Amino acid sequence: MRWLAPVVPVLAATAAYAWARWCFASASPPSQTVAVVGGAVLIVLAAGLYFALAAGSGAFFGALLMALGLFLTVQTAEEATARSRTVTCAVRDVQSRELESSGDGSISKTVYRFTLDCPGGYPSEITEGRQLAKKGAELRISYDPAHRVSPSVEGDSSPWGSAAGAVFLLSVATALAARRGTDDQEAFERRGTRA
C-alpha cells in the first residue's frame, strides 16, 4: 500500500480544488460553515492518510507540506474566482498596523486597512500588504456580488503565485512519499540478501 502514498497529494489537491470551486463559484454553494468545515475535514483526512501510508521519518514533514499545499490550492481557487463587478470607491481613511513575529531576528510586516465609500455601500473596506492610495484618493475595486470571495483592487487578484507555491509543496510531498517507498524496498532487499 506504500505505493499509494505518492498519489495522495495529487488526489487531495484535485478534491480540495473541486471543493473550493464549488464553494466559491457554484450557483448553489454550501453555507460558509459547511464550506469551511468540509474543507478542513478534507485536509485533515488527506494528511492523516498520507502520514499512515508514507510512514517513516519523512511522513510527518510530507503530510505537513501537503496540508500547506492544500491550503494554497484553496487560495488559488479563491483568487481565480471571478469578481464580476467593479466599482470606483473613495478612500475615507487609511490605517496601518505593523505585525511582528516574536523572537530574535523577528520579521515585521505592515498591513494597510482602507475604509472605503463605495456606491451601494459595498465593499466598505479592504486590507492590503502595501500602500495603495492615500485618504481622499479613489480605488477601482472588483468584487463578487454574492460576497463569496473577498474584494480586491481591480487587476490585483492573480492565482499564479498561490498555484506555483501549491505545486511546489505538493511536489515535495510526493517526492518524500516516493523516496520513502524506495528506502523501504532497499532495506527489504538488503535483509533478503543477508539471509
Mean of the per-residue pLDDT values for the chain?
Answer: 86
pTM of the complete model: 0.74
Q: What grid cell was written down for 78?
A: 479563491
Q: Which residue type occupies 49?
A: L
SS3 173: helix
58-72, 99-113, 123-137: the lowest-pLDDT one:
99-113
Residue by residue, DSSP assigns 116-158 as: EE-GGG---EEEESS----TT-EEEEEE-TT--S--EETT---
The region of weakest confidence among 10-19, 31-40, 155-164 is: 155-164
C-alpha–C-alpha distance, residues 16 and 68, integer Å: 12
pLDDT at position 180 is 56
